[in-house]
């Protein structure tokens, strides 16, 4: 047997026993290098300063023993097999040492199996070292994976064979808004769009069943925490250990923006391809590189043959010099060019008048010109119509020149083409001055907005239809004359069309209605005076009631103010608030018909007397129903004792059948009545009044009204004066 070197630490107080162990080791084929220690401190020093293959330890030493030696070895955290070699150890003691960490125990009088035990333990120690190195390597790889995953801009997910998420990197927070902690343990299918679940589950079932599955890419949509959907490019593969599938790893790359851009490009491509206007792209030297279908029909060039032609090939001869000397130099200088051209169909020779807009397309990063672009609109019909219009204009000009009403003609870009003498006289501008004058100088700001909206609406209706409308849409506009004077005109607009019914120009007709507008203004002033008269009349009624019943008059005044405050808190408009305030000041006006001895009776009313009191709502309504007013005063007075559940009077109205103004008045009336002194009882106080409307909110009284009223008293500091 070949000698094997062995580094042995002997924990033994007997030199003779130590030498005996060494002889046995040599006899067993080992070449031992050893050191003998017999105290705790010397053992600590030995294992700290040197490396050992095996520790042979006596159980009992003076002031030291095997359990303490085992403890020292554990504290040092070094994996060295320790074997107890003793002459006095019993079974229980040996078992306890094994439990504490000893690898074996051998009696000194039975050393025949010592070398065998050492060989076994050395082999086991080597296995443990390999496992430790493997574990450390795995931990290192896991650490590297985590570093890479934590820094990745993609979402990375580890999942088990049940589909539960074991790990998800922080990118999920940035991209989908979820914290990592709330994702761990959830299903990988939780956020997937319902329409994408099938492909996701199919891939999952393959991954957890096939060990030879190759990483595959596909697309799915996942829900963001805010409810929006993001599109992801998914790469998924299996995690395999010892030929067993443990789960999988998913890489999710957010391609939402890219998909949106692709959709936009697709839409733009469709718009360009199927546009009714010619669209083409060309190189800087004028060679065509793209031509849409409308351009193909106009020029007689198939889209796939566009590269065989240059721009000059399709320009009618009289316009070639303009293209060479103006259009191309402007584009190469980075400018835009617009103007009228004439194209020639290369197959038929047919000529088409167009309005062309040409510009260059640049690289957004370098600002370098990539190609030239041209969008051209067929204006042949427009040109023909203009010519026809010129021929017919003289026929109608004489008629228009002698009309009292104003007549004018504009193109679709709202440029003046003609104005009648009556319009020149009315505005003070001649045709030459109007051509230079924008509409913003002729119309007030409000009328300009109204006119633009009217033109837009009428044009959108006219373009799809080739049949002129039989109805005239009138619009009132306020013009600014040259002198600065304002005048009103009632205007009607219609379209002059070509033979196919396509609108070419706008014909305007106007009638001076300044005097009528002034009369309307006077009428409005009269109405305002009427409202003031109503207010005066109401004040007279209040004064009469105040003389007859001071309590009712004061009650009405306080109810009126509280109702006004509630309406304001609820956000009603000024007109509504004023109507409620005025109604509040006369809501009990019907009590004028009730004997004063009943109104001021200091004791509880009889049923007959209370029945008389209840009539005041009807009486008040009858008094006000024929009074002309912008507010429903009579109805407010009529309904202010109605209740939400139908238990009120006089008509047992319920819920929304009671007008809002009356619901506000009901709450204000109850609040004031309970908080104030009555002839037949002392005041109950604000607290009791608030408790009444609070407990009956939604039953007797409108919830919103009650909330607004309570807020006034509890938060806004409102109080009766």
Both tokens of 449, joined, read 């907005």
119 against 661, higher pLDDT: 661
Judge whether residue 252 has pLDDT over 60: yes
Long-range contacts of 390-394 (CB under 8 A, 24+ apart): 393/418
Q: Which helix (H) or strand (E) holds 550?
A: helix 550-569
State whether the Cα torsion 260-266-271-272 is positive or negative. Answer: positive
Sheet holding 351-362, edge to edge: 288-291, 278-282, 369-378, 351-362, 337-344
477 has which bridge partners?
489
C-alpha 279/C-alpha 272 separation (Å) is 7
Decide: pTM greater than 0.85. Answer: no
Judge whether residue 483 has pLDDT over 70: yes
Judge whether residue 409 has pLDDT over 70: yes
- The residue assigned the tokens 């439990």 is 99
Per-residue pLDDT tens digits for 310-338: 989 999 999 999 988 888 888 888 889 99
Length of the chain: 721
What average pLDDT does the segment 151-164 reach? 88
Task: Please give the pLDDT value at position 229.
Answer: 94
Q: Which helix (H) or strand (E) holds 84?
A: strand 82-86
The domain segmentation of the chain, as residue ranges, is 4-131, 152-259, 279-377, 383-512, 522-714
Min mean pLDDT across 134-148, 500-514, 592-606 is at 134-148
279-377 is a CATH 3.30.450.20 domain: yes
Closest CA to 310 of 318, 320, 339, 350: 320
Which string of b and e fits 588-607 if b means at least 16 CB within 10 Å? bbbbbebeeebbeeeeeeee
Per the CB < 8 A criterion, the answer to whether 86 and 66 are in contact is: yes
Answer whether 4-131 and 152-259 agree in fold: no
Min mean pLDDT across 41-45, 143-147, 626-630 is at 143-147
Task: Please give the pLDDT value at position 1.
Answer: 43
152-259 is a CATH 3.30.450.20 domain: yes
What average pLDDT does the segment 275-293 reach? 89
522-714 is a CATH 1.10.274.10 domain: no
Min mean pLDDT across 167-171, 500-504, 652-656 is at 500-504
Per the CB < 8 A criterion, the answer to whether 382 and 500 are in contact is: no
Radius of gyration (C-alpha) of the chain in whole angstroms: 50
What average pLDDT does the segment 289-306 reach? 91
Per the CB < 8 A criterion, the answer to whether 689 and 666 are in contact is: no
- The residue assigned the tokens 């809501």 is 587
- The residue assigned the tokens 């040109």 is 383
377 against 609, higher pLDDT: 377
C-alpha 408/C-alpha 71 separation (Å) is 111
Task: Please give the pLDDT value at position 300.
Answer: 93
Judge whether residue 386 has pLDDT over 80: no
**DSSP code, position 324:** I
Both tokens of 234, joined, read 């998914």
Min mean pLDDT across 341-350, 390-399, 572-581 is at 390-399
676 against 390, higher pLDDT: 676
Degrees to nearest 5, angle at CA 98 with 93 and 101: 130
Q: How far apart are the first and last CA of the chain?
A: 120
The distance between the two most distant Cα atoms of the chain, rounded to a whole number of Å, is 147
- The residue assigned the tokens 């991209």 is 175
C-alpha 310/C-alpha 327 separation (Å) is 14
Judge whether residue 537 has pLDDT over 70: no
Q: What is the CATH code of the structural domain delimited by 4-131?
A: 3.40.50.2300
Residues with Cβ within 8 Å of residue 137, at least 6 apart in sequence: none
Per the CB < 8 A criterion, the answer to whether 169 and 158 are in contact is: no
pLDDT tier, 627 (very low <50, low <70, confident <90, very high otherwise): confident
Task: Please give the pLDDT value at position 716.
Answer: 93
- 310 φ, ψ (degrees, to nearest 5): -115, 170
Q: What is the CATH code of the structural domain delimited by 383-512?
A: 3.30.450.20
Q: Which helix (H) or strand (E) holds 16?
A: helix 15-27
503 against 525, higher pLDDT: 503
C-alpha 8/C-alpha 32 separation (Å) is 6
Both tokens of 370, joined, read 């990539």
Long-range contacts of 639-647 (CB under 8 A, 24+ apart): 639/665, 640/587, 640/665, 640/666, 640/669, 641/614, 641/617, 641/666, 641/669, 642/666, 643/699, 643/700, 643/701, 644/698, 644/699, 644/700, 644/701, 644/702, 645/699, 645/700, 647/700
What average pLDDT does the segment 8-36 reach? 91
- 170 φ, ψ (degrees, to nearest 5): -60, -15
406 has which bridge partners?
510
pLDDT tier, 400 (very low <50, low <70, confident <90, very high otherwise): very low
pLDDT tier, 563 (very low <50, low <70, confident <90, very high otherwise): very high
**DSSP code, position 517:** H
C-alpha 15/C-alpha 169 separation (Å) is 62
Min mean pLDDT across 217-231, 390-404, 664-678 is at 390-404
Residues with Cβ within 8 Å of residue 400, at least 6 apart in sequence: 407, 418, 420
Task: Please give the pLDDT value at position 552.
Answer: 62
């Amino acid at each position: 047997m070949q000698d094997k070197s062995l580094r042995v630490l002997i924990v033994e107080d007997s030199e003779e026993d130590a030498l005996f162990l060494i002889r046995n080791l040599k006899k067993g084929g080992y070449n031992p290098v050893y050191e003998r220690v017999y105290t705790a401190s010397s053992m600590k020093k030995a294992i700290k300063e040197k490396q050992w293959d095996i520790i042979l330890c006596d159980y009992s030493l003076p002031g030291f023993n095997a359990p303490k030696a085992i403890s020292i070895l554990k504290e040092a955290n070094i994996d060295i097999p320790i074997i107890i070699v003793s002459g006095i150890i019993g079974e229980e003691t040996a078992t306890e040492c094994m439990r504490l960490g000893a690898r074996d125990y051998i009696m000194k009088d039975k050393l025949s199996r010592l070398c065998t035990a050492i060989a076994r333990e050395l082999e086991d120690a080597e296995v443990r070292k390999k496992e430790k190195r493997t574990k450390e390597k795995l931990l290192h790889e896991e650490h590297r994976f985590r570093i890479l995953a934590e820094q990745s801009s993609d979402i990375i997910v580890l999942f088990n064979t049940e589909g539960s998420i074991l790990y998800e990197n922080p990118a999920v927070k940035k991209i989908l808004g979820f914290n990592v902690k709330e994702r761990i343990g959830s299903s990988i299918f939780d956020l997937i769009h319902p329409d994408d679940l099938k492909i996701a589950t199919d891939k999952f079932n393959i991954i957890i069943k096939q060990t030879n599955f190759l990483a595959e890419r596909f697309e799915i949509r996942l829900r963001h925490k805010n409810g929006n959907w993001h599109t992801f490019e998914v790469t998924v593969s299996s995690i395999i250990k010892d030929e067993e599938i443990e789960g999988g790893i998913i890489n999710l790359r957010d391609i939402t923006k890219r998909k949106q851009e692709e959709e936009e490009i697709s839409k733009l491509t469709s718009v360009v391809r199927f546009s009714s206007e010619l669209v083409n792209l060309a190189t800087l030297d004028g060679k065509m590189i793209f031509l849409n279908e409308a351009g193909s029909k106009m020029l007689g060039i198939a889209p796939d043959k566009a590269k065989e032609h240059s721009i000059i090939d399709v320009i009618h001869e009289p316009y070639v010099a303009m293209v060479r000397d103006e259009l191309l130099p402007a584009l190469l200088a980075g400018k835009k060019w617009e103007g009228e051209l004439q194209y020639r169909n290369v197959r038929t020779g047919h000529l088409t008048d167009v309005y062309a807009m040409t510009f260059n397309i640049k690289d957004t990063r370098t600002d370098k010109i990539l190609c030239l672009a041209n969008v051209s609109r067929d204006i042949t019909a427009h040109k023909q119509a203009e010519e026809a219009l010129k021929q017919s204009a003289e026929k109608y000009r004489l008629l228009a020149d002698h009309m009292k009403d104003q007549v004018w003609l504009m193109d679709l870009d709202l440029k003046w083409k003609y104005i009648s003498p009556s319009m020149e006289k009315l505005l003070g501008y001649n045709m030459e001055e109007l051509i230079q004058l924008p509409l913003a100088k002729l119309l007030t700001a409000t009328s300009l907005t109204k006119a633009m909206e009217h033109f837009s609406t009428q044009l959108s209706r006219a373009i799809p239809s080739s049949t002129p409308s039989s109805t005239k849409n009138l619009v009132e506009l306020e013009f600014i004359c040259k002198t600065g004077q304002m005048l009103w005109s009632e205007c009607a607009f219609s379209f002059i069309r070509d033979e196919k019914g396509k609108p070419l120009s706008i014909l305007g007709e106007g009638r001076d209605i300044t005097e009528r507008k002034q009369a309307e203004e006077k009428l409005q002033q009269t109405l305002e005076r009427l409202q003031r008269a109503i207010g005066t009349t109401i004040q007279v009624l209040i004064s009469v009631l105040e003389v007859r019943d001071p309590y009712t008059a004061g009650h009405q005044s306080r109810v009126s103010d509280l109702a006004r405050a509630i309406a304001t808190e609820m956000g009603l408009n000024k007109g509504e608030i004023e109507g409620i305030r005025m109604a509040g000041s006369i809501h009990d006006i019907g009590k004028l018909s009730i004997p004063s001895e009943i109104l001021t009776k200091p004791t509880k009313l009889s049923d007959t007397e209370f029945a008389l009191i209840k009539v005041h709502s009807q009486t008040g309504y009858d008094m006000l129903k024929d009074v002309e007013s912008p507010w429903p005063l009579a109805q407010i007075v009529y309904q202010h004792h109605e209740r939400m559940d139908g238990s009120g009077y006089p008509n047992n109205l319920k819920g929304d059948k009671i007008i809002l103004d009356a619901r506000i008045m009901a709450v204000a009336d109850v609040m004031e009545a309970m908080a104030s002194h009555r002839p037949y009882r002392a005041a109950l106080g604000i607290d009791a009044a608030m408790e009444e409307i609070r407990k009956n909110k939604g039953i007797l009284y409108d919830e919103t009204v009650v909330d607004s009223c309570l807020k006034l008293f509890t938060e806004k500091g409102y109080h009766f004066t």
